Amino acid sequence: MGRIFTFKNFNIADWFSFYRIMAVPLLVALVWFGERQLFTWFLLLSYCTDAIDGFLARKLKIASARGSQLDSMGDQITLLMGLIGLWFFEKEFILANYKLILLAFLPYILQMIIAFRKYGKATAFHTYLAKFSAIVQSVFILWLLFFGPVYWLFYFMVIIGVLETIEEITLIFMYDEWVKDVKGVYWALKDKRRLKSGVQNRTG
């Protein structure tokens, strides 16, 4: 993990991911001082960097395991800050819908526990469903903070989030070793990395 924070080895995509981590103190300060609009705009900026770093990594062909971990860390921290913002600025909505929110997050916590027990770190599969779920989450959180709740979007976000977490857990059980960038279960079935690992385990 220490190599992740060797700044001289960062590429441009890594720096966009790192921005999301470095933005946390600013976002916390804006929540503390009750600056809802500023917080929401800077949260939007963090979400935009998530789209930019992935595009740059693919376009410039500079994707790496370090970059994938850094991207996942930035995603998780940004989501956490979004939830903190909702708690302070939309507490009434959170309390009114806490059961559905728990339904979405308990599987996610389980997935994190399984990943750390098996790999010693968070996953970085970056599946299509995970990317879509992240987009839906960011749209819902930002819309709620800017304009107020849209319940059909909230329900849709919960459903997609649960399905995405189930897929992540399935992939963890499919891969004996940590890997990055798996598009989904369908692609995992044909992934040479998984098949190679399975052959080695049977012959070992």
Cα(79)–Cα(46) distance, rounded to whole angstroms? Answer: 10
pLDDT band for 3, please (50, 70, 90 cuts).
very low
- Lowest-pLDDT range of 57-61, 88-92, 179-183, 198-202: 198-202
Give the pLDDT of residue 8.
56
Cβ neighbours around 150 below 10 Å, total: 14
Give the pLDDT of residue 61.
64
- Lowest-pLDDT range of 11-20, 105-114, 146-155, 193-202: 193-202
What's the half-sphere exposure (Cβ side, CA atoms, 13 Å) at 51?
9
Cα(191)–Cα(156) distance, rounded to whole angstroms? Answer: 30
For the chain, which residues make up each domain, given as ranges? 1-89, 91-197
The pLDDT tens digits of the residues spanning 18-43 come to 788 889 999 999 999 999 999 999 99
Long-range contacts of 137-144 (CB under 8 A, 24+ apart): 137/79, 137/82, 137/161, 138/47, 138/50, 138/82, 141/43, 141/82, 141/83, 141/85, 141/86, 142/40, 142/43, 142/44, 142/47, 144/86, 144/90, 144/93
Cα angle 101, 104, 105 (rounded to 5 degrees) comes to 90
The pLDDT tens digits of the residues spanning 175-194 come to 999 998 899 999 999 998 88
Give the pLDDT of residue 57.
59
Give the pLDDT of residue 11.
67
With a pLDDT cut of 90, the percent of the chain lying above it is: 61
DSSP lists the bridge partners of residue 180 as: 124
Contact indicator for 132, 157 with CB cutoff of 8 Å: no
Mean pLDDT of the chain: 86
Look up the pTM and report it: 0.82
**For residues 110-122, average pLDDT:** 94
**For residues 1-25, average pLDDT:** 69
